[in-house]
Amino acid sequence: MALTGIQIYKLLPQTNCKECDFPTCLAFAMKLAAKQVELAKCPYVSEESAAQLAEAAAPPVRPVVINSNGNEVKGGNEIVLFRHNKRFFSPPGLFIRVYDDQSGEEIKAKVKPVGDYVVDYVGMDLSMGGIAVQARGGDFCAAVEAVRDVTKLPLILIGSAEELKQGLEKLAKDETPLLCSATTQNWEAMAALAKEYNAPLAVEAGNIDEMAGLVKKLEGQDLKDFVLAPKQRSLIGSLTANTTIRRMAIKENYSLLGFPIINFPGDVGDPIREVTRAMQAIGKYSSFIVLDNFDPATAYALLVLRANLYTDPQEPIQVTPGIYELNNPGPEDPFLVTTNFSITYFSVANEVESMGLPAWLLVTDSEGMSVLTAWAAGKFDAEIIAKDAKQFKAADKVTKRRIVLPGHTAVLSGELEEELPDWEVKVGPKEAVDLPAYMKEVL
């Protein structure tokens, strides 16, 4: 049972040291009870009290992990409804579903491109989460084996307890799949299977009361890792179910619903509607998303949406400051300057590299801000550019010292000439897309 703020306060040191960034221990206790802060922020809590406060410090949505061969998908571990309040922590895994009545060759042909798919997005490698294998009157063991022949991605196994047991016997001992799903009809058999293989168990129900009651029964079987599977498949139905589950877990501390969610957009049977539902699932609290269709273009769109939602809104995506080589530059090639905001960096780098133009790229430390934002905030000025140019020994790399400022910061050219008197300072275009033409015509 979750502890109240007063109960937590009695277990804290009560020194009001303020090192937790709260004015009093009581204020900290209230935030801890609301799952809005971590116990680790209190430097003086005793080990005995920390053990008693473990429940209060735990995230309201329990983390659940499925893994295989070093690959894992983690759901849950969330503490807020809206990312601007703090951030979301566990990006949902996208799973492609195959069926056991498909031939082994069909399954392999569908699964292999999923396992091989990796795409770079502003310095992050985006990939699919895993494969879902569903029983449909065929050979479940053969289907699992066919999947494992071509990929080691984590698995979701969907079927009866008897069918899942056959598939589980084909997996490595250290592999942890997700088992789908316990219902009011089969929960005892599914509970026994999950317990035997120490695997998380999806819980399927048509309404919130039924789902909470089923989780309570399963907890009575000494199980603790669950994934909630609402039966609703329409946009409004899934949105309502997911939002209600997450709100009850976070706002009401209702532990019977404090688990990750799995959705099945692939059940709609139409690729376009499937993508629409997958987008909603990514934005509204799903941790495991099962699709029937895999297309690289669609996958990229969904993974980019996920990446944008699951980054910290208070910490922009950054690249490491330094000097980057574009198309094997030589001592006669120019230095371009930009900030370490990832999108800015990749906009510049991609435009130059795609045209095969050699250049050095000096990326300054602007705390992840774009050029104009950093300039306005005083994080991108002549002094900072010159400091980084010297720190990274830009002068040692070229004999013809030319440095090109972004066009929006032309005002810095005079100051930069004073800071770098041995360099020829030029002002480039305002937009990255115009860089290739500028380099060909001006430099």
Average pLDDT, the chain: 94
pLDDT digits (tens, 9 = 90+) for 227-256: 999 999 999 999 999 999 999 999 998 999
For position 175, what pLDDT does the model report? 96
For position 152, what pLDDT does the model report? 96
Strands 155-158 and 118-121: unpaired
Q: Work out the average pLDDT over 24-32.
A: 90
In the predicted model, is pLDDT for residue 270 greater than 80? Answer: yes
Question: Which of 252, 368, 382 lies closest to 315 in space, CA to CA?
Answer: 368
Beta carbons within 8 Å of 204's beta carbon, 6+ residues apart: 180, 181, 182, 183, 229, 230, 231
CA distances from 56 to 5, 15, 26, 218, 433 (A): 9, 20, 14, 22, 52
Separation between Cα atoms, residue 375 and residue 369, nearest integer Å: 9
pLDDT digits (tens, 9 = 90+) for 320-375: 999 999 999 999 999 999 999 998 999 999 999 999 999 999 999 999 999 999 99
pLDDT band, residue 408 (cuts 50/70/90):
very high
pLDDT band, residue 50 (cuts 50/70/90):
confident
pLDDT digits (tens, 9 = 90+) for 210-230: 999 999 999 999 999 999 999
In the predicted model, is pLDDT for residue 2 greater than 90? Answer: no
Separation between Cα atoms, residue 258 and residue 211, nearest integer Å: 11
DSSP conformation class of 186: T
Q: Work out the average pLDDT over 169-181.
A: 95
pLDDT digits (tens, 9 = 90+) for 131-145: 999 999 999 999 999
Strands 71-75 and 64-68: antiparallel
For position 338, what pLDDT does the model report? 97
- Kindly tell me the burial class for residue 159, based on how many C-beta atoms sit within 10 Å of its own C-beta (0-12, 13-18, 19 or more): buried
Residue type for position 10: K
In the predicted model, is pLDDT for residue 1 greater than 80? Answer: no
Class of domain 322-441: alpha beta
- Domain definitions of the chain by residue range: 5-57, 64-309, 322-441
pLDDT digits (tens, 9 = 90+) for 51-107: 888 766 678 899 999 999 999 999 999 989 998 888 899 999 999 999 999 999 999
More confident residue, 123 or 302: 302
Separation between Cα atoms, residue 415 and residue 61, nearest integer Å: 53
Q: Model-level pTM? A: 0.81
Chain-centroid distance of CA 120 in Å reads: 14
Q: Sign of dihedral through CA atoms 297, 299, 300, 305?
A: positive
Separation between Cα atoms, residue 246 and residue 432, nearest integer Å: 42
The CATH superfamily of 5-57 is Electron transport complex subunit B, putative Fe-S cluster (1.10.15.40)
The correct answer on CATH 3.30.70.120 for the domain covering 64-309 is no
pLDDT band, residue 118 (cuts 50/70/90):
very high
For position 56, what pLDDT does the model report? 64
DSSP bridge pairs for 68: 71
More confident residue, 41 or 194: 194
One DSSP character per residue, 94-124 reads EEEEEETTS-HHHHHHHHHHHHH-EEEETTE
